[in-house]
Amino acid sequence: MSQFDFLIRNGFVVTAQGINKADVSIAGEKISEVSREITADADEVIDASGKYVLPGIIDPHTHPVYLDDLKGLSRTAAHGGITTVIHYAYAKPGNELLEVIDNYKEDGEARSYLDFGLHGGLFDAENQAEDVPKAVEMGVNSFKMFMTYAKLGWMTDDYQLMRTMDIIAEAGGMGMVHAENGLATDYLQDKYNDKGLDPVETFLSTRPARLEAEAINRAISMAKVAGCPIYIPHLSAKAGVEVVEQAKRDGYPVFGETCPQYLTLTSDRVLSDGPLAKIGPPLREQKDQDGLWEGLRSGTIETIASDHAPKPKKSGDDFFDAPFGSPQVETMLALAYDGGVNRGKLTLPQLVERMSTNAAKIFGLYPEKGSLKEGSDADLVIFDPEMVHTIENETQHSNAYYTLYEGKECLGKPVSTFQRGKRLLDEGELHVEPGNGKFLETEIDH
Ligand SMILES: [Zn+2]
C-alpha cells in the first residue's frame, strides 16, 4: 500500500502568504505534507507542472432556492472550482428559523456535492430573532436582515435591527445586512412611477449609491453599540467601501464582501440587458468598480462571493416586475482571476486570501478550510493560468436561462479540484455523488 492517496507534483502552491513550487500529498481526507519535493509513492501521482495549486475556493454567499436548488447550485459551483459554499437559509415571514435551518441541513447532507455552512436569513426579525441563540447552538452563527425591500414586507426596521443585533451579540454570532435604505428607495421608486418614467432608465436613480452607504453606516453604528460583529455582503458602491474603511480605522469589527458582477460590469448593462441585469444593489459606475478593486487590494473588503441567485427571467420581460438576481457561482473564480490577477489589480496570493482564506477565518472554518497546511482538509484547486476559455450559457451547469458574461473570453481556468481528499472535478466531470458534502458548523471569533 502506498503512503499517500494522491501526490500532486511540480505545481506552484499558492497561499495567502505567497507562491512556492512544491509537491502536495494527500492521505485520507487531509493534506499530509507540502514540501519542495516529496519522494514517497502514492496511489495516484498528478503532474501539475505549469499550474497553480490553490486552497479550495469558498463562496460565502449563495441562494439555493431559485432555478438552482441545493443540489444544482453545489453542482454548478463545483464546476467553477468552488469546494465550500455558505448558503442563506431564508426564513420567510411565517417560517420558523430553526425548522428552516434543519431543512437546509438535511437537504444539503442528502444532496450537496460540496461541503456547506449556513447563514440564517431573517425576513421577519421581530418574530424570528428569539431563535437566534438556538440557531447558534446548531452551528449557524451569522444572520442576515434586509434594510431594504420594504414594500415586499421583508425590511427590518431600526428598532428590530438594534434588538436583533443585541440578541446576536449576546449569542456570540455575527450580524449581516442587505444595506440599502428601504423606505427612501421606495419613495424614489413611487416618485418615478407616478411620473410614468421608464423603469429601466430610472432604476439606478431609485437605488443610489449614497443610500447604500447610508444604510451601511447605520448598520455598522448599531452593531458597534450592540457589540456585535457585522458583515456587509455584496458591497457595490465606492461610497460604501469608504464607510467600511472608516469603521475599520475606528476599530469596529466589520467585514466587507463584494461580488464578481460588481467587479466586472457597470450600469450600462442595465440599459442593454434589461431585466437580466436587474440585481440588488444595482450595477454601478466605473468609479465604483475601481473603488471595489481598491478596497479588495487594501483589505477593506475581505471576501469575493457570488450572490448566486438565478431567477426565471428573459430579456423581454417587464423590467419593473422582474425579480432581482443573476447566475454567478460557476464563473466567479475565472472572472475574478481574469479581472484581478491578469489585470494586475490583485496578486494571486491576495486573490486566494479573498476567495478562500478570509472567508474560512471569518466564519470559523480555518484551518480545516482556506489553507494548504499539513492537517488541513485536502480541499484544493488545480488552476491552469494558460487555458483560454469562453463563457457561454450553453456550457454552464446552472439552470439559469442566461449568463451576463456570454461570449466573454477568460484566461485561466480551474481544471481539477479535490474535496476532503476525494477527486471532485476533473476535465469537466464531477467525480463525487450528491450527498458527499458535509455540513460545517460556523463559529465567530469575538
Ligand atoms: Zn444575496
Rounded Cα distance, 336 and 348, in Å = 10
Ligand 1 centre from 121 Cα, in Å? 10
Ligand 1 centre from 405 Cα, in Å? 19
Q: Kindly report the CATH number assigned to the domain that includes residue 385.
A: 2.30.40.10
Confidence of residue 28 (pLDDT cuts 50, 70, 90): very high
Ligand 1 centre from 127 Cα, in Å? 21
Is residue 47 one of the residues assigned to a domain? yes
Ligand 1 centre from 416 Cα, in Å? 27
pLDDT digits (tens, 9 = 90+) for 337-360: 999 999 999 999 999 999 999 999
Ligand 1 centre from 222 Cα, in Å? 21
For residue 93, pLDDT beyond 80: yes
Ligand 1 centre from 159 Cα, in Å? 23
Cα-to-chain-centroid distance, residue 347: 19
Cα-to-chain-centroid distance, residue 18: 23
Q: What secondary structure does DSSP assign to 48-76, as a single string? A: -TT-EEEEPEEEEEE-TTSSS-HHHHHHH
Mean predicted lDDT score pLDDT of the chain: 97
pLDDT digits (tens, 9 = 90+) for 194-219: 999 988 889 989 999 999 999 999 99
Ligand 1 centre from 290 Cα, in Å? 22
- Please give the single-letter amino acid code of residue 395: T
The residue behind cell 418614467 is 197
Are residues 230 and 333 both part of a single domain?
yes
Is residue 175 one of the residues assigned to a domain? yes
State the cell numbers at 368: 480545516
Ligand 1 centre from 62 Cα, in Å? 6
Residue 75 is predicted with a pLDDT of 98
Residue 201 is predicted with a pLDDT of 87
Rounded Cα distance, 165 and 168, in Å = 5
pTM for the complete prediction? 0.98
State the cell numbers at 410: 477568460
pLDDT digits (tens, 9 = 90+) for 244-302: 999 999 999 999 999 999 999 999 999 999 999 999 999 999 999 999 999 999 999 99
**CB-based neighbours (< 5 A) of ligand 1, an ion:** 307
Are residues 44 and 63 both part of a single domain?
no
Q: Kindly report the CATH number assigned to the domain that includes residue 163.
A: 3.20.20.140
For residue 1, pLDDT beyond 90: no
pLDDT digits (tens, 9 = 90+) for 97-111: 999 999 999 999 999
Structural domain of residue 386, as residue ranges? 4-53+377-430
Q: What H or E segment, with its residue span, contains residue 362?
A: helix 358-362
The count of residues in the chain is: 446
Give the pLDDT mean for 34-50: 96
Please list the residues that pair with 392 across neighbouring strands.
none
Is residue 291 one of the residues assigned to a domain? yes
Ligand 1 centre from 395 Cα, in Å? 24
Are residues 425 and 334 both part of a single domain?
no
Is residue 438 one of the residues assigned to a domain? no
Are residues 354 and 405 both part of a single domain?
no
Rounded Cα distance, 309 and 203, in Å = 19
